[in-house]
Structure 1
Amino acid sequence: MTDSLNELPQIIPPSSWVERHCGRITPGGRVLDLACGSGRHARLLAGLGFSVAAVDRNFEAILKFSAVPGITAMQADLEGDEWPLAGRTFDGIVVTNYLWRPRLPDVLAMLAPGGVLIYETFMLGNEAYGKPSSPAFLLRPGELRELAQAAGLREIAFEEGYTASPKPAMRQAICAVRE
Protein backbone atom coordinates (compact mmCIF):
# COMPACT_ATOMS: atom_id res chain seq x y z
CA MET A 1 0.00 0.00 0.00
CA THR A 2 1.34 3.44 -0.89
CA ASP A 3 0.96 6.67 1.00
CA SER A 4 -1.18 8.77 -1.34
CA LEU A 5 0.14 12.02 0.16
CA ASN A 6 3.62 11.14 -1.05
CA GLU A 7 2.28 10.75 -4.59
CA LEU A 8 0.84 14.28 -4.76
CA PRO A 9 2.99 16.81 -6.60
CA GLN A 10 4.46 19.49 -4.38
CA ILE A 11 2.63 22.76 -4.97
CA ILE A 12 4.87 25.78 -4.75
CA PRO A 13 2.98 28.89 -3.67
CA PRO A 14 3.38 32.17 -5.54
CA SER A 15 6.27 34.39 -4.53
CA SER A 16 5.33 36.81 -1.75
CA TRP A 17 7.14 39.52 -3.77
CA VAL A 18 4.85 38.94 -6.75
CA GLU A 19 1.77 38.77 -4.51
CA ARG A 20 2.75 42.02 -2.79
CA HIS A 21 3.22 44.00 -6.02
CA CYS A 22 0.88 42.52 -8.65
CA GLY A 23 -1.92 44.84 -7.52
CA ARG A 24 0.03 47.72 -9.07
CA ILE A 25 -0.64 46.35 -12.57
CA THR A 26 -3.59 47.95 -14.38
CA PRO A 27 -6.69 45.87 -13.53
CA GLY A 28 -7.57 43.51 -16.37
CA GLY A 29 -4.27 44.29 -18.10
CA ARG A 30 -2.06 42.06 -20.23
CA VAL A 31 0.67 40.38 -18.18
CA LEU A 32 3.65 38.31 -19.28
CA ASP A 33 4.84 35.52 -16.98
CA LEU A 34 8.27 34.96 -18.52
CA ALA A 35 9.97 31.58 -17.97
CA CYS A 36 6.78 30.64 -16.14
CA GLY A 37 7.77 27.11 -15.12
CA SER A 38 4.86 25.41 -13.36
CA GLY A 39 2.69 28.50 -13.86
CA ARG A 40 2.22 29.46 -10.21
CA HIS A 41 2.27 33.17 -11.04
CA ALA A 42 0.27 32.80 -14.26
CA ARG A 43 -2.47 31.10 -12.25
CA LEU A 44 -2.36 33.77 -9.55
CA LEU A 45 -2.57 36.59 -12.09
CA ALA A 46 -5.32 34.97 -14.18
CA GLY A 47 -7.28 34.43 -10.96
CA LEU A 48 -7.01 38.18 -10.31
CA GLY A 49 -8.54 38.93 -13.71
CA PHE A 50 -5.44 39.62 -15.77
CA SER A 51 -4.97 38.32 -19.31
CA VAL A 52 -1.77 36.29 -18.94
CA ALA A 53 0.76 35.17 -21.54
CA ALA A 54 2.67 32.31 -19.91
CA VAL A 55 5.90 31.56 -21.76
CA ASP A 56 8.42 28.81 -21.10
CA ARG A 57 10.65 26.50 -23.13
CA ASN A 58 9.36 23.41 -21.30
CA PHE A 59 6.45 22.11 -23.39
CA GLU A 60 5.22 19.73 -20.68
CA ALA A 61 4.97 22.56 -18.14
CA ILE A 62 3.01 24.69 -20.61
CA LEU A 63 0.55 21.87 -21.34
CA LYS A 64 -0.37 21.54 -17.66
CA PHE A 65 -2.08 24.90 -17.52
CA SER A 66 -2.81 25.78 -21.12
CA ALA A 67 -6.58 25.27 -20.55
CA VAL A 68 -6.73 27.58 -17.51
CA PRO A 69 -9.08 30.52 -18.23
CA GLY A 70 -7.24 33.80 -18.69
CA ILE A 71 -3.94 32.16 -19.65
CA THR A 72 -2.49 31.89 -23.14
CA ALA A 73 0.40 29.44 -22.99
CA MET A 74 3.33 29.62 -25.38
CA GLN A 75 6.31 27.32 -25.69
CA ALA A 76 9.35 29.31 -26.84
CA ASP A 77 13.13 29.35 -26.67
CA LEU A 78 13.89 32.52 -24.72
CA GLU A 79 17.62 32.16 -25.21
CA GLY A 80 17.77 31.61 -28.97
CA ASP A 81 18.88 33.98 -31.71
CA GLU A 82 15.31 35.05 -32.52
CA TRP A 83 13.30 36.85 -29.82
CA PRO A 84 9.89 35.11 -29.88
CA LEU A 85 8.06 38.02 -28.24
CA ALA A 86 9.29 40.80 -30.54
CA GLY A 87 6.79 43.60 -31.05
CA ARG A 88 4.58 42.67 -28.09
CA THR A 89 3.85 44.92 -25.12
CA PHE A 90 2.47 44.17 -21.68
CA ASP A 91 0.95 46.10 -18.78
CA GLY A 92 2.91 43.88 -16.42
CA ILE A 93 5.91 41.60 -16.70
CA VAL A 94 6.65 39.01 -14.02
CA VAL A 95 9.95 37.12 -13.94
CA THR A 96 11.05 34.88 -11.08
CA ASN A 97 13.97 32.49 -10.72
CA TYR A 98 15.25 33.23 -14.23
CA LEU A 99 18.09 35.29 -15.64
CA TRP A 100 19.34 35.50 -19.21
CA ARG A 101 21.24 38.78 -19.46
CA PRO A 102 21.41 38.96 -23.28
CA ARG A 103 17.60 39.34 -23.40
CA LEU A 104 17.07 41.75 -20.51
CA PRO A 105 16.86 44.80 -22.84
CA ASP A 106 14.23 42.95 -24.92
CA VAL A 107 12.23 42.11 -21.79
CA LEU A 108 12.27 45.70 -20.53
CA ALA A 109 11.35 47.03 -23.98
CA MET A 110 8.07 45.08 -23.85
CA LEU A 111 6.80 47.06 -20.87
CA ALA A 112 4.00 49.42 -21.98
CA PRO A 113 3.73 53.00 -20.65
CA GLY A 114 2.42 52.67 -17.10
CA GLY A 115 3.50 49.03 -17.11
CA VAL A 116 4.87 47.33 -14.02
CA LEU A 117 7.97 45.12 -13.87
CA ILE A 118 8.07 42.57 -11.05
CA TYR A 119 11.38 40.71 -11.13
CA GLU A 120 12.88 38.42 -8.50
CA THR A 121 15.77 36.01 -8.86
CA PHE A 122 19.01 34.78 -7.36
CA MET A 123 22.10 36.89 -6.77
CA LEU A 124 25.78 36.42 -6.02
CA GLY A 125 26.27 34.59 -2.77
CA ASN A 126 23.61 32.02 -3.64
CA GLU A 127 26.34 29.52 -4.47
CA ALA A 128 26.62 28.95 -0.70
CA TYR A 129 23.02 27.64 -0.66
CA GLY A 130 22.81 25.60 -3.84
CA LYS A 131 21.81 26.21 -7.44
CA PRO A 132 22.05 28.33 -9.37
CA SER A 133 25.69 28.79 -8.46
CA SER A 134 27.25 30.04 -11.69
CA PRO A 135 27.87 33.82 -11.80
CA ALA A 136 26.30 33.78 -15.28
CA PHE A 137 22.93 33.14 -13.60
CA LEU A 138 23.37 35.26 -10.48
CA LEU A 139 22.71 38.99 -10.30
CA ARG A 140 25.41 41.32 -9.08
CA PRO A 141 24.52 43.57 -6.11
CA GLY A 142 22.17 46.31 -7.30
CA GLU A 143 22.02 44.94 -10.85
CA LEU A 144 18.21 45.00 -11.23
CA ARG A 145 18.13 48.56 -9.89
CA GLU A 146 20.75 49.65 -12.43
CA LEU A 147 18.91 47.93 -15.30
CA ALA A 148 15.60 49.55 -14.37
CA GLN A 149 17.19 53.01 -14.15
CA ALA A 150 18.95 52.56 -17.50
CA ALA A 151 15.60 51.60 -19.08
CA GLY A 152 13.94 54.73 -17.66
CA LEU A 153 11.80 52.88 -15.13
CA ARG A 154 10.84 54.38 -11.78
CA GLU A 155 11.64 52.11 -8.85
CA ILE A 156 8.74 51.30 -6.52
CA ALA A 157 10.51 48.75 -4.30
CA PHE A 158 13.85 46.96 -4.22
CA GLU A 159 15.26 44.23 -1.99
CA GLU A 160 18.39 42.14 -2.00
CA GLY A 161 20.13 39.75 0.32
CA TYR A 162 19.51 36.59 2.26
CA THR A 163 16.08 35.01 2.51
CA ALA A 164 15.10 31.89 4.45
CA SER A 165 11.84 31.33 2.57
CA PRO A 166 10.84 29.36 0.57
CA LYS A 167 14.39 28.01 1.01
CA PRO A 168 17.66 29.63 2.09
CA ALA A 169 18.99 31.73 -0.80
CA MET A 170 20.49 35.04 -1.83
CA ARG A 171 17.86 36.94 -3.82
CA GLN A 172 17.31 40.27 -5.48
CA ALA A 173 13.94 41.75 -6.39
CA ILE A 174 12.54 44.92 -7.95
CA CYS A 175 9.16 46.38 -8.69
CA ALA A 176 9.40 49.29 -11.14
CA VAL A 177 7.05 51.19 -13.45
CA ARG A 178 7.48 52.71 -16.90
CA GLU A 179 6.11 56.24 -16.72
Structure 2
Amino acid sequence: MSDSAGTPHHLVPQPSAWVCRWVSYIPHGGTVLDLACGSGRHALLLARLGYRVHAVDRDPPALARLAGVAGIITLQADLEAGRWPYEGRSFDGIVVTNYLFRPLLPVLVSAVAPGGILIYETFALGNEAYGRPSNPDFLLRPGELLDAVRGSMRVIAYEDLKVDD
Protein backbone atom coordinates (compact mmCIF):
# COMPACT_ATOMS: atom_id res chain seq x y z
CA MET A 1 0.00 0.00 0.00
CA SER A 2 1.36 3.41 -0.96
CA ASP A 3 0.10 6.90 -0.43
CA SER A 4 -0.37 9.48 -3.15
CA ALA A 5 3.23 10.70 -2.83
CA GLY A 6 4.46 7.21 -3.62
CA THR A 7 5.91 6.52 -0.17
CA PRO A 8 4.88 3.10 1.08
CA HIS A 9 3.07 3.38 4.41
CA HIS A 10 5.29 0.64 5.82
CA LEU A 11 8.22 3.11 5.59
CA VAL A 12 6.49 5.55 7.95
CA PRO A 13 7.96 5.18 11.46
CA GLN A 14 6.01 3.05 13.91
CA PRO A 15 3.56 4.83 16.21
CA SER A 16 4.82 5.72 19.64
CA ALA A 17 4.30 3.10 22.34
CA TRP A 18 2.83 5.84 24.57
CA VAL A 19 0.21 6.74 21.95
CA CYS A 20 -0.59 3.07 21.30
CA ARG A 21 -1.00 2.51 25.03
CA TRP A 22 -3.60 5.28 25.47
CA VAL A 23 -5.35 5.57 22.09
CA SER A 24 -8.22 3.32 23.20
CA TYR A 25 -9.24 6.02 25.69
CA ILE A 26 -10.28 8.29 22.84
CA PRO A 27 -14.05 7.89 22.36
CA HIS A 28 -14.57 5.31 19.60
CA GLY A 29 -15.22 6.83 16.18
CA GLY A 30 -14.44 10.32 17.44
CA THR A 31 -12.60 13.17 15.82
CA VAL A 32 -8.89 13.41 16.62
CA LEU A 33 -6.34 16.14 15.99
CA ASP A 34 -2.80 14.96 15.27
CA LEU A 35 -0.86 18.14 15.99
CA ALA A 36 2.50 18.67 14.26
CA CYS A 37 1.88 15.27 12.70
CA GLY A 38 5.19 14.97 10.85
CA SER A 39 5.36 11.67 8.97
CA GLY A 40 1.76 10.90 9.89
CA ARG A 41 2.54 7.77 11.89
CA HIS A 42 -0.20 8.54 14.41
CA ALA A 43 -2.70 9.89 11.88
CA LEU A 44 -2.42 6.62 9.94
CA LEU A 45 -2.88 4.56 13.11
CA LEU A 46 -5.91 6.60 14.18
CA ALA A 47 -7.54 6.40 10.74
CA ARG A 48 -7.02 2.61 10.69
CA LEU A 49 -8.77 2.45 14.06
CA GLY A 50 -11.81 4.27 12.67
CA TYR A 51 -11.23 7.79 13.97
CA ARG A 52 -11.81 10.90 11.87
CA VAL A 53 -8.38 12.54 11.85
CA HIS A 54 -7.28 16.11 11.31
CA ALA A 55 -3.53 16.03 10.64
CA VAL A 56 -1.79 19.40 10.80
CA ASP A 57 1.85 20.23 10.12
CA ARG A 58 3.84 23.04 8.55
CA ASP A 59 5.69 20.68 6.18
CA PRO A 60 3.87 20.18 2.85
CA PRO A 61 5.89 17.06 1.84
CA ALA A 62 4.97 15.37 5.12
CA LEU A 63 1.30 16.15 4.57
CA ALA A 64 1.47 14.98 0.95
CA ARG A 65 2.13 11.46 2.23
CA LEU A 66 -1.29 11.57 3.93
CA ALA A 67 -3.24 13.05 1.03
CA GLY A 68 -6.04 10.80 -0.11
CA VAL A 69 -5.87 8.48 2.91
CA ALA A 70 -9.42 7.63 3.98
CA GLY A 71 -10.39 9.24 7.27
CA ILE A 72 -7.62 11.86 7.25
CA ILE A 73 -8.04 15.57 6.52
CA THR A 74 -4.74 17.43 6.24
CA LEU A 75 -4.00 21.08 6.92
CA GLN A 76 -0.72 22.85 6.24
CA ALA A 77 -0.22 25.52 8.91
CA ASP A 78 2.60 27.06 10.90
CA LEU A 79 1.24 26.57 14.41
CA GLU A 80 3.71 29.09 15.81
CA ALA A 81 2.64 31.97 13.58
CA GLY A 82 -0.78 33.43 13.13
CA ARG A 83 -4.12 32.30 14.46
CA TRP A 84 -5.06 28.89 15.79
CA PRO A 85 -6.54 27.17 12.71
CA TYR A 86 -9.17 25.27 14.70
CA GLU A 87 -10.80 28.19 16.50
CA GLY A 88 -14.12 27.10 17.98
CA ARG A 89 -13.49 23.41 17.27
CA SER A 90 -13.17 20.67 19.85
CA PHE A 91 -11.75 17.19 19.46
CA ASP A 92 -12.42 13.87 21.15
CA GLY A 93 -8.69 13.33 21.16
CA ILE A 94 -5.59 15.39 20.58
CA VAL A 95 -2.26 13.66 19.96
CA VAL A 96 1.02 15.55 20.21
CA THR A 97 4.43 13.89 20.02
CA ASN A 98 7.93 15.36 19.88
CA TYR A 99 6.63 18.92 19.69
CA LEU A 100 6.42 21.75 22.19
CA PHE A 101 5.20 25.29 21.64
CA ARG A 102 4.24 26.54 25.08
CA PRO A 103 1.68 29.16 23.96
CA LEU A 104 -0.43 26.33 22.49
CA LEU A 105 -0.74 24.37 25.75
CA PRO A 106 -3.83 26.23 27.04
CA VAL A 107 -5.34 26.23 23.54
CA LEU A 108 -4.97 22.46 23.33
CA VAL A 109 -6.46 21.90 26.78
CA SER A 110 -9.51 23.98 25.84
CA ALA A 111 -9.85 22.17 22.48
CA VAL A 112 -10.37 18.76 24.12
CA ALA A 113 -14.10 17.97 24.09
CA PRO A 114 -15.82 16.86 27.30
CA GLY A 115 -14.95 13.20 27.78
CA GLY A 116 -12.02 13.56 25.39
CA ILE A 117 -8.35 12.90 25.95
CA LEU A 118 -5.04 14.66 25.37
CA ILE A 119 -2.14 12.32 24.63
CA TYR A 120 1.11 14.26 24.89
CA GLU A 121 4.63 12.89 24.55
CA THR A 122 7.67 15.07 24.15
CA PHE A 123 11.16 15.76 25.41
CA ALA A 124 12.00 17.15 28.83
CA LEU A 125 14.91 18.91 30.45
CA GLY A 126 17.72 16.40 30.74
CA ASN A 127 17.36 15.33 27.11
CA GLU A 128 20.23 17.66 26.20
CA ALA A 129 22.59 15.04 27.67
CA TYR A 130 21.47 12.60 24.95
CA GLY A 131 21.34 14.82 21.88
CA ARG A 132 18.59 16.76 20.18
CA PRO A 133 16.59 18.65 21.05
CA SER A 134 18.87 20.37 23.50
CA ASN A 135 17.39 23.88 23.37
CA PRO A 136 15.44 24.46 26.60
CA ASP A 137 12.70 26.17 24.55
CA PHE A 138 11.82 22.70 23.22
CA LEU A 139 12.12 20.79 26.50
CA LEU A 140 9.42 20.51 29.15
CA ARG A 141 10.37 21.69 32.61
CA PRO A 142 9.61 19.45 35.61
CA GLY A 143 5.84 19.41 36.23
CA GLU A 144 5.14 21.85 33.39
CA LEU A 145 2.68 19.64 31.51
CA LEU A 146 0.85 18.72 34.70
CA ASP A 147 0.59 22.41 35.57
CA ALA A 148 -0.83 23.15 32.11
CA VAL A 149 -3.77 20.77 32.61
CA ARG A 150 -4.32 21.24 36.34
CA GLY A 151 -7.92 22.15 37.11
CA SER A 152 -9.03 21.47 33.53
CA MET A 153 -8.40 17.78 32.97
CA ARG A 154 -8.13 14.59 34.95
CA VAL A 155 -4.68 13.04 34.54
CA ILE A 156 -4.94 9.29 33.99
CA ALA A 157 -1.24 8.72 33.29
CA TYR A 158 1.97 10.68 33.47
CA GLU A 159 5.53 9.49 33.09
CA ASP A 160 8.80 11.38 33.20
CA LEU A 161 11.51 8.97 32.21
CA LYS A 162 14.43 8.13 29.98
CA VAL A 163 13.38 5.99 27.03
CA ASP A 164 15.91 3.64 25.47
CA ASP A 165 15.54 2.83 21.78
**TM-score (normalised: structure 2):** 0.91
* Partner Cα separation in structure 1 for residue 153 and residue 128 of structure 2: 30
Within-5 A mapping of 1:99-138: 99-138=100-139
Within 5 Å, which residues of 2 pair with 1:2-17?
Answer: 11-17=12-18
2: CA distance, partners of 1:11 / 1:89: 28
Q: What is the identity, as a one-letter code, of the residue corresponding to 1:93?
A: I
Match of 1:162 in 2: 162
Q: Calculate the TM-score normalised by the size of structure 1.
A: 0.84
Contact 1:37 1:56 in 2 (8 A): yes
Provide the C-alpha distance between the structure 2 equivalents of 1:102 and 1:91, rounded to a whole number of angstroms: 21
AA of the residue aligned to 2:156: I
- Cα-to-partner distance string for 1:81-131 (whole Å, 9 max, x where unaligned): 311121111000000000000111111111000010000000001111111
Taking the aligned partners of 1:81 and 1:33, their CA distance within structure 2 comes to 19
2:73 paired with 1:72: yes
Give the paired residue count: 157
Would you say 1:41 and 2:39 are equivalent positions? no
Runs of 4+ in 1 over 4 A off after TM superposition: none
Question: What secondary structure is seen at the aligned counterpart in 2 of 1:102?
Answer: helix
Cα offset, 1:14, TM superposition? 0.3
Distance across 2 between alignment mates of 1:82 and 1:51: 23
Instruction: Indicate the RMSD between aligned Cα atoms, in angstroms.
Output: 1.3
Check conservation: 1:77, 1:84, Cα contact below 8 A. no
CA distance in 2, matches of 1:108, 1:21: 17
Are 2:39 and 1:63 equivalent residues in the alignment? no
- Bigger proportion of residues as strand: 1
* Aligned-partner residue type, residue 162 of structure 2: Y
- SS at the partner of 2:44? helix
* Cα pair 2:12 2:40 within 8 Å, conserved: no
- Matched to 1:149, the amino acid is R
Distance 1:10 1:91 in 2: 28
Deviation at 1:10, TM superposition (A): 5.0
- SS for the counterpart of 1:88 is coil
* Residue identity opposite 2:101 in structure 1: W
**Unaligned residue ranges in structure 2 (runs of 5+):** 1-7
Amino acid paired to 1:145: L
Residue 82 of structure 2 corresponds to residue 81 of structure 1: yes
Kept after mapping to 2: 8 A contact 1:126/1:132: yes
Percent identity for Structure 1 against Structure 2: 57
Helix, strand or coil for the counterpart of 1:85? coil
Q: Is the 8 A contact 2:12 2:39 kept in 1?
A: no
* Counterpart Cα distance in 2 of 1:125 and 1:86: 34
Write the distance in 2 (CA, Å) between the matches of 1:115 and 1:133.
32
